[in-house]
Amino acid sequence: MKKWWKKLERALERISRGKKLAVNLALCAFLLVLIWSRFGYPLPTAELEFRRMERTHLLPASELQGVFRRENEWVVVGLQEDSVLFSEDRSLDRWPRSVAGPALVPIGRFVWTELSVIAVDVPQGTASARLDLSMDCWYYLRGDGWSASGERGGSLGENMDDWKPWAKDFHIEGEPLKEGGILFRVPVGDRESMEYELLRLLTKQNTYQQSAKQRGLNCHMEAVFYGQDGRELGRTALSTLEE
């Protein structure tokens, strides 16, 4: 390696200053391309990166609903006919959407200080919004851990007297995004707490598909949208299945 470098230095000494500059620029460009490739050729903006991931997955271009910063990453949300797409940690995820109109999507395979819930396809003229989120479950402590269920006793069959109730409500003001969606930032407490783990369950699609006995908690979230004059323009909800 040293011999190669010395040969390069001697070769550079024999060429003109202008040629040296050109060679240096070429070397810098080569090193930048190597570094760029090492990180998967990221594009300069979150939106461009999102569009590239759509093309990689052979998907049509989404109708953008939001681009926002969370922790140390950018999240981009796009609307398709039957789903909501969102980027997270340089990967593309999908949330099913069965009907047209407003929908709520909890975002976050990784939840740190907040859980992001975005409302898409909101009523035209929406100037503000409010999210009411209610969570409840039954839990019991075992050794140095715990288990939770949407139904007392769950599917584990422990002594019913060991199960204790837990519940919490959130009331969050929405943050209008310039792309058209409404972002709700739900604060997350201690990452070692049971509440943190339960909030993470809100981002799992099967939480809303399983029976109370199988899932870890029950939840109901509803967003209400208001116009500039304070008049209600519409609302949408996302809930676990009722028994």
Tell me which of 8 and 223 has the higher pLDDT: 223
Read off the amino acid at residue 208. Answer: Y
pLDDT in tens, 178-215: 999 999 999 987 777 888 889 989 999 999 999 998 99
- Say if pTM beats, i.e. exceeds, 0.85: no
> pLDDT per residue over 104-122, tens digit each?
999 876 566 789 999 999 9
pLDDT tens digits, one per residue of 135-193: 999 998 877 788 899 988 776 656 777 899 999 999 999 999 999 999 999 998 777 78
Round the average pLDDT of the chain to a whole number and report it. 83
User: Any idea where the domains of the chain sit in the sequence?
Assistant: 2-38, 46-239
Three-state SS annotation for 5-49: HHHHHHHHHCCCHHHHHHHHHHHHHHHHHHHHHHCCCCCCCHHHH
